[in-house]
């Protein structure tokens, strides 16, 4: 069978990820992981990702329906949402940074408090204890109680029960102790790498290696075993050389198959959408560098605060910045080179923007 070309791999990457819209539960199960981000421009990343893959999805549906889904908020290669059945692959988990004795004592205090309640909001902890504040990752001041709840969640002693206006509300959980033998750890690591490949394939070899290093977030104890899986990737995954790279994908898939039909529409993708997440692959496929600039000083931004890559047919032709003002969806476009001379582009963009309005509920407000 002929090896896939770079064009084959690009078509395959788009079609296998942007599958026919399905139910929310089925979409999350098929993806295996949905990255989360708190910025709302014009909606949170998890909603923008699911909007492309869930029939009749509306912004906030995941948060509203979370309690009825077999889904968990947790760390994988980043923070996000994943099917509950994957949690045993991630826990038990050792924190990368240990708490000092004083913080450990405060955490035990908070955990004992949470175990007396069905649900615990960070506000409840703040009212019950005087733990003060700490410096957050971005230099901001973070309530120490929130930090302790997050840490207990990471350690598998609490889970996110739901969100209240975007704030995580926790409930106690006890993960069943499992077999922690070397063989089991190798199996867990292999399955986690399989999830990475399933989500982001086809992956150039350097990207696979980089993504596995990100398991330090979700599975810091399995780093060595995961690196071993990468070293044996040619035996575990289908692979081929194209565009000067070795590419990997699930062994039971064929990038040249007719089932991966060309996407002919226009889509406004989230910065963390699986189609565009891997910046190395992005540049190999589309010949230009996309940058996420939300945390870049405004004067240094080239694309904008929250630029959404614009996928038109098989090409990412540029980006769009969207915002809602007075109930109206406003947009600005930028192009990687020049605007395509295609009479069908503007009608397709108008349709995509109308879908975005429906997704955001703007038509209901009119």
> Domain ends where: 142, 157, 172?
172
Q: Which pLDDT score is estimated for 339? A: 85
Residue 151: exposed, middle, or buried by beta-carbon count in 10 A (0-12, 13-18, 19+)?
A: buried
Evaluate whether 31 touches 71 at the Cβ level (below 8 Å): no
In a domain, 325, yes or no: yes
- Residue 22 is inside which H or E element, if any? none
Tell me: the pLDDT tens digits for 262-281?
Answer: 888 899 999 999 999 999 99
Which sign, positive or negative, has the C-alpha torsion 36, 39, 40, 41?
negative
Domain presence at residue 139: yes
Residue 238 CA neighbour count, 13 Å, CB half = 15
For each of the chain's 366 residues, which pLDDT tens digit applies?
789 999 999 999 999 999 999 999 999 999 999 999 999 999 999 999 999 999 999 999 999 999 999 999 999 999 999 999 999 999 988 887 889 999 999 999 999 999 999 999 999 999 999 887 776 655 566 788 999 999 999 999 999 999 998 899 999 997 766 677 889 999 999 999 999 999 999 999 999 999 999 999 999 999 999 999 999 999 999 999 999 999 999 999 999 999 998 888 899 999 999 999 999 999 999 999 999 999 999 999 999 999 999 999 999 999 999 999 999 999 999 999 988 888 899 999 999 999 999 999 997 654
pLDDT tens sequence across 301-335: 999 999 999 999 999 999 999 999 999 999 999 99
DSSP 123-161: HHHHHH----EEE-TTS-EEEHHHHHHHHHHHTTSEEEE
Classify residue 321: in a domain, yes or no: yes
* DSSP labels, 244-292: TEEEEE-TT--TT-TTSPPP-SEEE--TT-TTTS-HHHHHHHHSS----
Domain final residue pick, 172, 201, 230:
172
Q: How many domains, in total, are found in the chain?
A: 2
Is 31 part of a structural domain of the chain?
no
| 253's tokens | 């898939």
* SS3 call for 324: strand
The whole-model pTM stands at 0.94
CATH code for the domain in which residue 157 is found? 1.10.10
Range of the domain at 162: 101-172
Q: Residue 74 corresponds to which tokens in the numbers above? A: 């947790």
In a domain, 238, yes or no: no
Q: Tell me whether residue 26 is in a domain.
A: no
Instruction: Flag whether 85 is in a domain.
Output: no
CB 145 within 8 A of CB 190: no
Residue 286 inside a domain? The answer is yes
The domain boundary, picked from 172, 188, 209, lies at 172
């Amino acid at each position: 069978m002929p090896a896939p070309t770079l064009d084959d791999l690009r078509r395959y990457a788009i079609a296998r990820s942007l599958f026919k819209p399905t139910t929310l539960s089925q979409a999350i199960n098929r993806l295996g992981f949905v990255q989360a981000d708190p910025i709302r421009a014009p909606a949170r990343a998890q909603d923008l990702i699911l909007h492309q893959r869930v029939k009749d999805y509306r912004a906030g549906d995941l948060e509203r329906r979370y309690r009825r889904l077999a889904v968990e908020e947790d760390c994988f290669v980043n923070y996000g949402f994943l099917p509950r059945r994957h949690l045993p692959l991630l826990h038990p988990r050792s924190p990368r940074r240990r708490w000092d004795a004083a913080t450990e004592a405060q955490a035990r205090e908070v955990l004992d408090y949470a175990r007396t309640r069905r649900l615990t909001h960070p506000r409840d902890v703040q009212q019950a204890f005087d733990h003060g504040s700490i410096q957050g990752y971005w230099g901001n001041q973070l309530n120490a109680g929130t930090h302790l709840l997050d840490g207990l969640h990471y350690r598998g002693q609490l889970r996110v029960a739901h969100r209240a206006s975007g704030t995580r509300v926790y409930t106690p959980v006890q993960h069943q102790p499992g077999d922690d033998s070397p063989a089991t750890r190798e199996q867990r690591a292999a399955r986690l790498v399989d999830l990475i490949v399933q989500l982001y394939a086809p992956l150039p070899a350097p990207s696979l290696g980089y993504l596995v290093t990100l398991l330090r977030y979700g599975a810091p104890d399995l780093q060595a075993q995961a690196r071993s899986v990468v070293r044996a990737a040619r035996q575990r995954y289908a692979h081929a050389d194209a565009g000067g790279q070795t590419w990997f994908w699930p062994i039971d898939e064929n990038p040249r198959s007719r089932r991966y039909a060309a996407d002919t529409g226009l889509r406004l993708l989230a910065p963390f959408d699986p189609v565009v997440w891997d910046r190395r692959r992005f540049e190999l496929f589309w010949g230009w560098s996309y940058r996420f600039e939300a945390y870049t000083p405004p004067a240094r931004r080239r694309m904008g605060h929250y630029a959404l890559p614009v996928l038109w047919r098989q090409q990412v032709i540029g980006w769009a910045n969207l915002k809602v003002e007075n109930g109206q969806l406003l947009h600005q476009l930028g192009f990687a080179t020049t605007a395509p001379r295609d009479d069908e582009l503007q009608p397709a963009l108008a349709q995509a923007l109308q879908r975005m309005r429906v997704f955001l509920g703007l038509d209901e407000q009119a």
